[in-house]
């Protein structure tokens, strides 16, 4: 009797123990796989073999100035001050090599990962936190801009911090949390001017909700955000000058279709993996914004949306539309990197979408998104085609002699190349003749439209005297149409045919051509 009973009980217990052990083993495998993915995301953020391109070189040049001169340099550059000041301190603490200056952005990018996990968990529980962590770790956009000496990874980190600070204040309002909200708002505004669109949308949304629900907490949160503007006031005169005189003469405004194409930029651009990632993220964002009920593979949607995804979707969409509309009115150029102010919220929305799905569906979808993200991010991290400056500088170091004159046309090619050349070369930019270390964007278009390439060529040839003249140039830059070609033609007329050293290659984001003219022949007696 007891044998049958004991035998049956023993088999059941062993089966339950085996099932529990198997579940624990699977959980450990998934945890290990997630840790490997995050480690890869961190490693990709500290890998960038390319030379500094225009924007990075300008940032490093400005931050290399004495502190008292940075404000004036930023007036001419058109950028806000926070990143420049942080990089100023970083360069003096760590160094100013390519690896050194990019490491600051990498640290911001890595710091954003745990903050994203907390934000995802705040929105959608443990599943949302895990999804947010993995989506941010493998985001091609977040990886790429963690490897650039610019402010974009800082913006991503500050947006995530701002989300958590605002959420804390709305849950438990207090003066301390309100003051912290004001500080984060100000730091965002002082990091990138597109943050002003995000701040306007969030603050306006809080006021609308406060009026509809008669919530004093929402109204006070908006007031604290407005109070952050007090910290912006010292910078206001410089901002107004930039608004009037700098702008973005190098590009053109984008249409509203950029709202959709931006998702492809976030996913790594062109290619099969980026397209796949973009489609998955758009679907997840739609689920995060509208899903109401899940039953196995069945999913019910409400097009009116469901919190918290609905709010995230509205903020992302409204910010992009507002920014593009202002760009159309002011003729300001659009660059995908500016959308770093809403990328974090979009990825959080996608994480909410993962959490809304059943585990049997959500896990494979998350694995697909992570795989596509890594496939897109790895080539970006090893991308060497940001600028042709290193190739041009190598040719100049090999061929140019001390005292030779190097001219950059347009001046936008100067910052990346000039920092790689010896001080024995005399370097200047067309049409101003100034140092090539930075670009003065003040009234840029008017200045260039009124330039005379023939007169400049004659003056630079006279200044060079019995030394060679080297021209670093490329065609297709706005406000320079035909001028760099005319400059080269006049130098050829005065000095004879040029030595062609480097041809511009389209594989580079910032291509450049290098030609040199020997001293003119001496006149016969």
359-381 helix and 343-356 helix, angle to the nearest 10 degrees: 150
* Residue 192, SS3 per DSSP: coil
Upper half-sphere CA count for residue 293 (Cβ side, 13 Å): 3
Q: Is residue 368 part of a domain?
A: yes
Residues 6+ apart with CB under 8 A from 475: 484, 485
Q: Is residue 524 part of a domain?
A: no
Say yes or no: 352 and 405 in one domain: no
pLDDT at 270: 80
Say yes or no: 332 and 469 in one domain: no
Q: Is residue 410 part of a domain?
A: yes
Element (H, E) at 325: helix 309-330
How many structural domains comprise the chain?
Answer: 3
Say yes or no: 273 and 327 in one domain: yes
Say yes or no: 347 and 442 in one domain: no
d(CA 326, CA 332): 8
Q: Closest Cα to residue 45, out of 402, 337, 426, 380?
A: 380
- The residue ranges of the chain whose pLDDT is under 50 are 1-11, 13-14, 524-525
Q: Is residue 185 part of a domain?
A: yes
Q: Tokens in use for 424?
A: 């024995």
Say yes or no: 456 and 322 in one domain: no
Residues 6+ apart with CB under 8 A from 326: 197, 332
Domain boundary among 381, 404, 421: 381
pLDDT at 291: 82
Q: Is residue 525 part of a domain?
A: no
Say yes or no: 327 and 444 in one domain: no
pLDDT at 297: 66
Inter-residue contact 404 to 464 (CB < 8 Å): yes
d(CA 285, CA 352): 8
Q: Is residue 133 part of a domain?
A: yes
pTM: 0.92
pLDDT at 385: 87
Q: Closest Cα to residue 382, out of 44, 116, 138?
A: 44
Q: Is residue 523 part of a domain?
A: no
Domain boundary among 331, 349, 381: 381
Inter-residue contact 211 to 56 (CB < 8 Å): no
Q: What is the pLDDT of residues 87-111, one digit of tens each?
A: 999 999 999 999 999 999 999 999 9
Say yes or no: 71 and 27 in one domain: no
Q: Tokens in use for 377?
A: 């991010």
**Omega of the bond prior to 431 within 30 degrees of 0, cis?**
yes
Say yes or no: 355 and 393 in one domain: no
Triad 315, 377, 394: Cα angle to 5°: 120
Say yes or no: 272 and 132 in one domain: yes
Say yes or no: 181 and 138 in one domain: yes
d(CA 261, CA 368): 21
- 268 backbone φψ class: left, alpha, beta (φ>0; ψ -120 to 50): left
Q: Tokens in use for 53?
A: 């391109």
Q: Is residue 317 part of a domain?
A: yes
Does the CA dihedral 119-122-124-130 come out positive or negative?
positive
Say yes or no: 203 and 271 in one domain: yes
Residues 6+ apart with CB under 8 A from 272: none
What is the span of the domain harbouring residue 355?
A: 45-381
Say yes or no: 77 and 30 in one domain: no
């Amino acid at each position: 009797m007891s044998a049958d009973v004991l035998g049956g009980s023993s088999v059941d217990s062993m089966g339950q123990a085996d099932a529990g052990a198997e579940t624990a083993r699977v959980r450990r495998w998934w945890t290990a796989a997630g840790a490997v993915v995050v480690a890869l995301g961190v490693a990709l953020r500290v890998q960038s073999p390319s030379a500094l391109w225009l924007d990075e070189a300008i940032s490093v040049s400005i931050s290399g100035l004495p502190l008292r001169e940075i404000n004036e340099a930023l007036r001419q550059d058109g950028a806000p001050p926070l990143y420049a000041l942080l990089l100023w301190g970083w360069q003096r603490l760590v160094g100013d090599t390519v690896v050194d200056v990019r490491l600051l952005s990498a640290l911001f990018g890595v710091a954003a990962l745990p903050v994203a996990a907390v934000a995802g968990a705040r929105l959608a529980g443990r599943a949302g936190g895990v999804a947010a962590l993995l989506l941010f770790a493998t985001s091609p956009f977040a990886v790429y801009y963690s490897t650039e000496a610019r402010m974009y990874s800082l913006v991503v980190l500050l947006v995530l911090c701002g989300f958590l600070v605002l959420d804390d204040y709305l849950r438990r309002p207090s003066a301390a949390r309100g003051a912290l909200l004001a500080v984060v708002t100000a730091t965002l505004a002082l990091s990138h001017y597109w943050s002003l669109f995000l701040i306007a949308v969030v603050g306006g949304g809080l006021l609308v909700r406060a009026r509809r629900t008669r919530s004093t907490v929402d109204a006070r949160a908006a007031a604290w955000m407005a109070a952050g503007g007090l910290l912006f006031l010292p910078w206001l005169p410089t901002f107004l000058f930039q608004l009037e005189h700098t702008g973005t003469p190098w590009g053109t405004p984008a249409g509203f279709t950029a709202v959709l194409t931006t998702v492809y930029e976030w996913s790594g651009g062109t290619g099969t993996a980026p397209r796949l990632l973009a489609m998955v993220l758009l679907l997840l964002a739609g689920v995060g914004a509208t899903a109401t009920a899940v039953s196995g593979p069945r999913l019910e949607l409400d097009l009116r949306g469901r919190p918290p995804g609905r709010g995230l979707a509205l903020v992302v969409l409204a910010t992009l539309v507002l920014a593009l509309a202002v760009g159309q009115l002011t003729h300001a150029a659009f660059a995908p990197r500016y959308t770093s102010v809403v990328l974090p919220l979009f990825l959080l929305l996608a994480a909410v979408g993962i959490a809304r799905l059943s585990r049997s569906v959500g896990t494979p979808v998350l694995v697909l998104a992570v795989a596509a993200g890594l496939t897109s991010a790895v080539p970006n991290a090893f991308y060497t085609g940001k600028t042709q400056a290193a190739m041009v500088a190598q040719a100049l170091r090999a061929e140019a002699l001390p005292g030779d004159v190097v001219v950059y046309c347009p001046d936008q090619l100067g910052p990346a190349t000039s920092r790689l050349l010896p001080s024995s070369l005399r370097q200047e930019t067309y049409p101003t003749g100034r140092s090539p270390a930075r670009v003065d964007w003040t009234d840029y278009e008017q200045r260039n439209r009124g330039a005379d390439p023939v007169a400049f060529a004659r003056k630079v040839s006279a200044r060079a005297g019995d030394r060679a003249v080297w021209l670093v140039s490329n065609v297709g830059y706005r406000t320079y149409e035909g001028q760099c070609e005319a400059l080269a033609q006049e130098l050829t007329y005065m000095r004879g045919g040029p030595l062609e050293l480097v041809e511009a290659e389209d594989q580079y984001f910032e291509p450049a051509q290098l030609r040199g003219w020997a001293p003119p022949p001496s006149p016969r007696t």
